[in-house]
A and B are shown apart, each in its own frame.
Chain A
Amino acid sequence: MSRLYANSRGLLLPLLLIGAWEYLSRQGAAGAYAFVPLSAIGSALIELLVNGELLVNLLASLARTSTGLALGIFFGVLLGVLMALSAVANRLIGPLFHSIRQVPMLGWIPLIAMWFGNGEFSKVLIVSLAAFYPMVLNTYQGFSHIEQRYREVGQVLVLSRWQRFRHVLLPAALPSIATGVLHALAFAWVTAVGSELFLSSGAGLGNLMMNAEAGSRMEVIVLSVLCIGLCGYLMTLLFTLLSRHLLRWRNTR
């Protein structure tokens, strides 16, 4: 019982804020503009669900995120493994990678938009880049910090190169790779929305927001923002649970 009480105390402040919000929304026209009444948000939700707009845009954003994430993870792990296992590759590619990394993700958007246009390809490319960087870094970290003592067991058991990779190196690096995917996921989601805000063609939550901004429909914007936050949270939660299961051999005290 006391646990319920403790947890519910955390709800007090949000509820107060929502109450204040509702109050301010009734303070004349200016109030209603800035702080859309909750009822308006509610009816907007229903409206967007009924005409399918919310779902269509949500799915478009998710699709973009997934595609970009998959590509970013695939190439990111590839490069990370390469740089970690081959000193030559590290020497040659490393400096280039690190200097390009300095350019912030969102700085690439104008360049990519100029080179590849405003379409789907650009957006997915941007999302893949956002996922690519943390994957390379975390994969590299995972593979280059494998304890010497495990490698020695691989030597003593005279395992072939491929066997050593599959049974020793890869599992040992997996926790780092999982962390990388978690970061990549968060970045990919934010970048997908960001690219939609910027390259406003096609469907997506970002586009939904831009249109709502043009039409001064604050309630749609609020709705989208809540949606974005919620989805981001759920995705990271899902992945955390998944990795906890896959990595259950870890001794997490």
Chain B
Amino acid sequence: MNAIAQHAPLHSTPLQSGALHIRGLSKAYRIESHPLPVLHNINLDVRPGEFVSIVGASGCGKSTLLRLIVGLEADYEGDILLDGKRVVATSLERGIVFQDHRLFPWMTLSQNIALALKNHPLSAAEKNRLVAEHIALVNLEGFENAYPHQLSGGMAQRAAIARALINKPKVLLLDEPLGALDALTRVRLQHELQRIWVQQRCTVIMVTHDIEEALYLGDRVIVMDAHPGRIKHEINVDLPHPRDRSSSVLQGYKEQLLEELVGH
């Protein structure tokens, strides 16, 4: 794994896609004719190939933000633009990995990943090759014919990542992807995520409640506040990948973030 210079992606490929512009985004749910504001006036610009981490207490609408970006929820105020086009519904340009892996229990590992290519105009042989490639990418060779209930939590989540990546989405959304895993697996998978992202280099927006994780992986860490959800603070993490968990710079950022989240 070679160290990647920090600003490389910006001028290596001109007009690289995956630029996200969010302007004045607000969303409210209606509960018994009372509006419940979930997000208020979110403004966010994400550069192509950037890795953005979002942290915040529960109830700050981070998951809702991701769901709006991926297109699972419509009906919002403001603008969400991906490469200039408004987001109105789901699309293969935007992939998502949920906290619960959501692999279909009745399909094997390969079938689950191959499902993402259902509407792809490739030949069957090409598709098989792609699936095998992505299974190798997430280090799950040998488990092609396993059913999800035979996989551990970490393995299933890796499969979900492979499924989300196989369409080469412009934006990859991660909704607390490692939240359901034990601490050891989490550390291992953070490492994996970093490796995979460095290879794929798509735009990534990750929601997490783990500050260390946010700092380890993100180029930028965004802190959200709750009731209603809004962006409170931003930190640029100017460190090259791969990162050292124990570096003092990282620790410094961590203290900063903790202050923001806990103290007022």
Interfacial residues, chain A to chain B (CB-CB below 8 A): 149-150, 152-153, 155-160, 163, 167-168, 171-172, 174, 248-251
Which residues of A have CB within 8 Å of B100?
A: 149
Whether B115 contacts A157 by the Cβ 8 Å rule is yes
Among B42-50, B102-110, B183-191, B217-225, the one that faces the other chain is B102-110
Which residues of A have CB within 8 Å of B123?
A: none
Whether A250 contacts B149 by the Cβ 8 Å rule is yes
Complex: A167 Cα to B116 Cα, angstroms: 12
The closest CB in chain A to the CB of B117 belongs to A157
Which residues of A have CB within 8 Å of B116?
A: 157
Which residues of B have CB within 8 Å of A152?
A: 72, 98, 102
A-B contacts, CB under 8 A, total: 55
Is B92 in the interface zone, CB < 8 Å from A?
yes
**Quick one: CB contact mask for B65-96 with A, threshold 8 Å, 1 for yes?**
00000111000000000000000001110011
A166 to B: closest C-beta gap in Å: 10
A177 to B: closest C-beta gap in Å: 13
Complex: A167 Cα to B118 Cα, angstroms: 10
Complex: A171 Cα to B105 Cα, angstroms: 9
The closest CB in chain A to the CB of B164 belongs to A156
The closest CB in chain A to the CB of B108 belongs to A249
Answer whether A153 and B72 are a contact pair too, CB < 8 Å, given A159-B119, A160-B119, A249-B149. no
Is B147 in the interface zone, CB < 8 Å from A?
yes
Complex: A163 Cα to B114 Cα, angstroms: 13
Complex: A174 Cα to B106 Cα, angstroms: 10
**Quick one: CB contact mask for B205-248 with A, threshold 8 Å, 1 for yes?**
00000000000000000000000000000000000000000000
Given A160-B119, A249-B147, 7 more pairs with CB closer than 8 A? A152-B72, A156-B70, A167-B115, A171-B107, A172-B106, A174-B106, A250-B105
Which residues of A have CB within 8 Å of B72?
A: 152, 155-156
The closest CB in chain A to the CB of B100 belongs to A149
Answer whether A158 and B92 are a contact pair too, CB < 8 Å, given A149-B102, A251-B105. yes
The closest CB in chain A to the CB of B105 belongs to A249
Whether B104 contacts A153 by the Cβ 8 Å rule is yes
What would 30 A/B residue contacts be, using CB atoms closer than 8 Å? A149-B98, A150-B102, A152-B72, A152-B98, A152-B102, A153-B102, A155-B71, A155-B72, A156-B72, A156-B90, A156-B96, A157-B115, A157-B116, A157-B118, A158-B92, A158-B119, A159-B115, A159-B118, A159-B119, A163-B118, A167-B104, A167-B107, A168-B104, A171-B104, A172-B106, A248-B147, A249-B105, A249-B107, A249-B147, A249-B148
The closest CB in chain A to the CB of B103 belongs to A153
The closest CB in chain A to the CB of B112 belongs to A153
Complex: A167 Cα to B115 Cα, angstroms: 9
Complex: A12 Cα to B98 Cα, angstroms: 57
Whether B149 contacts A158 by the Cβ 8 Å rule is no
Most buried by B among A156, A163, A248, A249: A156
Cross-chain contact of A171 among B91, B92, B106, B148 (Cβ < 8 A): B106
The closest CB in chain A to the CB of B106 belongs to A171
Complex: A152 Cα to B95 Cα, angstroms: 12
Complex: A172 Cα to B116 Cα, angstroms: 18
